């Protein structure tokens, strides 16, 4: 009992450590951390627009609320200072003939309310600027212009955040596992991808990167070395008609990094296959990238995907997403090298070969029959 629990606990720790080593999560987020960056963090303020867009919603809303409250309170103080300098406040006991810079400002609270009404253009009509003070008129113009700038920036940032193509990427999904089986007489690695919306991705392009640790002939260890993985779709990997789920595949030939892997040694490998799908959103014309990754435990050798598209009696095509990641075991060579040698042997059987040591000798036949 204790040995079973220990084995389960060990396998769980091994799985957790492998998950921590994943560079790209299944939903496309990158697990990377930057340390000892020499440049100052103030460089991010130079590109303030991108910095605001990359912030999470809770931080963005905090900045949004703080910007408005801060500007209202700051200009409220300025309006209070104008009223204080012009002696419009009740504590100065202004005369009946006294014309204030701003009507009905009696303290800091009323100055804050006037600032809010001015910047958001509410205009209740109870408090208003008179022509008595040029300073008040200038402050009114300045706050109105600054308020328009803050409104435009904040509203634009929120609209851009909502309409980012990253949200469109959430409706593109990849299969949970990749499979390796024969396709068209060749050993292939297959992945299924689906577009959950009826709107297309224009100019879609699919490619992959194999991340692994390699050691160069000079003895240098390269962590996260990237190797290009070419994926193919039956209709071509350019300008996909991405209206129904597609099965993309990588041919495991002599140039493939999977060529020297076998079914018995696959789980012992240390790699991460990252798959990318680039395209243009049809509705907004914004570029979109979807990515996911597969580690050796998520690559099933000797399986293929179950059928997912069928045709109804009414003539409509139906996509059953219940079978989207479902796999079926099929007969598959346990390595690409074996399949290659098997094909080569069969090809040799169909050919004839000359024996260099064979010598044809002529025999003279004599007839003993006499006429």
Residues 320 and 201 both lie in one domain: yes
How far is C-alpha 83 from the geometric centre of its chain's CA atoms? 55
Integer Cα distance of 224 and 210 in angstroms: 9
C-alpha span between 274 and 143 (Å, rounded) = 51
| pLDDT score at 78 | 94
Q: Domain with 132 in it: what CATH number?
A: 1.10.287.70
For residues 263 and 335, give the distance between their C-alpha atoms in angstroms, rounded to a whole number.
6
- Domain residues for the domain of 112 are 51-163
Output the pTM of the full model. 0.67
Above pLDDT 90, what percent of the chain? Answer: 23
Across 95-123, average pLDDT: 89
Question: Confidence class of residue 4 from pLDDT cuts 50, 70 and 90?
Answer: low
Say whether pLDDT at 15 is over 70. no
Provide the β-strand partners of residue 8.
none
Cα–Cα nearest to 171, from 273, 277, 304, 247:
277
The pLDDT assigned to 149 comes to 92
Domain with residue 300: its CATH number is: 2.60.40.1400
Q: What is the pLDDT of residue 127?
A: 87
Residues 114 and 198 in one domain: no
297, 193: one domain: yes
CA-wise closest residue to 161 among 68, 56, 65, 64: 56
- C-alpha–C-alpha distance, residues 108 and 313, integer Å: 75
Torsion of CA 276, 277, 278, 282, to 10 degrees: -160
User: 151 and 159 in contact (C-beta within 8 Å)?
Assistant: no
Same structural domain, 205 and 138: no
Q: Tell me: do 302 and 220 sit in the same domain.
A: yes
Predicted confidence band at 3 (pLDDT cuts at 50, 70, 90)?
Answer: low
Do 176 and 254 lie in a common domain?
A: yes
Task: Count up the domains in the chain and report the number.
Answer: 2
- Name the residue with higher pLDDT: 274 or 344: 274
Mean pLDDT lowest among 39-43, 127-131, 325-329? 39-43
**Res 80 pLDDT > 90:** yes
Query: Could you tell me if 122 and 178 lie in one domain?
Result: no
pLDDT at 144: 92
pLDDT of residue 371: 43
Would you call 264 helix, strand, or coil by DSSP?
coil
């Amino acid at each position: 009992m204790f040995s079973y629990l220990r084995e389960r606990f060990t396998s769980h720790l091994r799985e957790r450590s492998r998950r921590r080593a994943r560079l790209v999560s299944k939903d496309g987020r990158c697990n990377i951390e930057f340390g000892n960056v020499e440049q100052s963090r103030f460089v991010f303020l130079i590109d303030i627009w991108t910095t605001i867009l990359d912030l999470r919603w809770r931080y963005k809303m905090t900045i949004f609320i703080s910007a408005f409250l801060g500007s209202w309170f700051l200009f409220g103080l300025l309006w209070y200072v104008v009223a204080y300098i012009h002696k419009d406040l009740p504590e100065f006991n202004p005369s009946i003939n006294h014309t204030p810079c701003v009507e009905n400002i009696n303290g800091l609270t009323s100055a804050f309310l006037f600032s809010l009404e001015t910047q958001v253009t509410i205009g209740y009509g109870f408090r208003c600027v008179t022509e008595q003070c040029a300073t008040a008129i200038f402050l009114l113009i300045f706050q109105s212009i600054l308020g328009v700038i803050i409104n435009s920036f904040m509203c634009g940032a929120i609209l851009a955040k909502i309409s980012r193509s990253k949200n469109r990427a959430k409706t593109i999904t990849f299969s949970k596992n990749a499979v390796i089986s024969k396709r068209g007489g060749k050993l292939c690695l297959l992945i299924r991808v689906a577009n959950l919306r009826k709107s297309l991705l224009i100019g879609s392009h699919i490619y992959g990167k194999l991340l692994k640790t390699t050691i160069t002939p000079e003895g240098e260890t390269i962590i996260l070395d990237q190797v290009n993985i070419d994926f193919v779709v039956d209709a071509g990997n350019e300008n996909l008609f991405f209206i129904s789920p597609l099965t993309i595949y990588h041919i495991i030939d002599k140039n493939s990094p999977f060529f020297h892997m076998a079914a018995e040694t696959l789980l012992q490998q240390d790699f991460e296959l990252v798959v990318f799908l680039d395209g243009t959103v049809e509705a907004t014309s914004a570029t979109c990238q979807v990515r996911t990754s597969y580690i050796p435990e998520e690559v099933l050798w000797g399986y293929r995907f179950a059928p997912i598209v069928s045709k109804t009696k009414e003539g409509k095509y139906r996509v059953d997403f219940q079978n989207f990641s479902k796999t079926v075991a099929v007969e598959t060579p346990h390595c690409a090298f074996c399949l290659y040698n098997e094909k080569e042997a069969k090809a040799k059987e169909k050919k004839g070969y000359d024996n260099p040591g064979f010598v044809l000798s002529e025999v003279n036949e004599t007839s003993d029959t006499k006429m």
